[in-house]
Amino acid sequence: MKRSRDEDRQAFSERLKRAYALTGGADYGKYSELGRAFNVTPHAVKRWFLGETVPTSRINEIAEYLKVRPEWLLSNRGPMREVEAESPSGEALNVQIHRVPIIEPSEYETLQNDGPSVSSYCLAMGNFSSQTFAYQLRDNALVPEALSGMIAVVDPLNWEAKTPGLSKKPVVVLDNNTFLAGTYIWHGNPMIEPRNREYRPVQLSDNHKVVGVIVAFSQRDT
């Protein structure tokens, strides 16, 4: 089911608010500040923030002002921003920062179709696909790589997800409405072997689905 125009405008409004907040700008007077920057009235800016209008003709200059990518600001495509960094040798690096939706196992299929009504996100750095999602770890099966309560960032399109048996990254499987993560192995039947040796391997059902590999760990960014 496609989202309505009202929903699209509200979604844009939330991204605009988030991007502005990350600039460190004061909430008081922001309509006047941005109005001067883009030569529009404060009332026009207010309508952007309220989700009443989307300034499509000004997206590029607004994105540049807020230091975010215009594709993300307009339609939530790709990473939120790109930042310049340096390697230890002084080489310039282009680093992508993504705002990734945190979902429950029951929301996975909806995410693949039109996207669920997500209320929580995390920020993650790296080169991920636009279909990347995240979920909260419920146990210590990934110790020493991660602890219960941390957010696992999963990329369904990472090349290692296509060959899970060879993946060095933790493979994430959806089985019986539960996310399981670890090493994907075969012992007569497919199994997930936790990284934590105190946990036993879990035999997977015939209906299990490999949904990606963990490419990063993060914290909630509501």
Q: Residue 34: CB partners within 8 Å, gap ≥ 6?
A: 20, 40, 42, 45, 62, 65
140-191 confidence digits (pLDDT tens): 999 898 999 999 999 998 888 889 999 999 999 999 999 999 999 988 899 9
62 and 123 belong to one structural domain = no
Residue 170 lies in a domain: yes
In the prediction, which pLDDT does 1 show? 45
Structural domain of 47:
5-77
Q: Is residue 46 part of a domain?
A: yes
pTM of the entire predicted model: 0.61
Q: Is residue 82 part of a domain?
A: no
203 has a pLDDT exceeding 60: yes
pLDDT of residue 77: 81
Write the CA distances from 147 to 14, 105, 138, integer angstroms.
30, 19, 9
Q: Are 107 and 120 in contact (CB under 8 A)?
A: no
- pLDDT band with cut points at 50, 70 and 90 for residue 5: confident
Domains identified in the chain, total number: 2
Within a domain: 83:
no
* Confidence band, pLDDT 50/70/90 cuts, at residue 12: very high
Summarize pLDDT for 57-92 with one digit per residue, the tens.
Answer: 999 999 988 888 888 899 888 778 765 555 556 555
CA dihedral (178, 181, 184, 187) in degrees, to 10, reads: -60
Structural domain ending residue among the three candidates 18, 45, 77: 77
Phi, psi dihedrals of residue 50, rounded to the nearest 5°: -85, -5
* Residue 66 forms part of a structural domain: yes
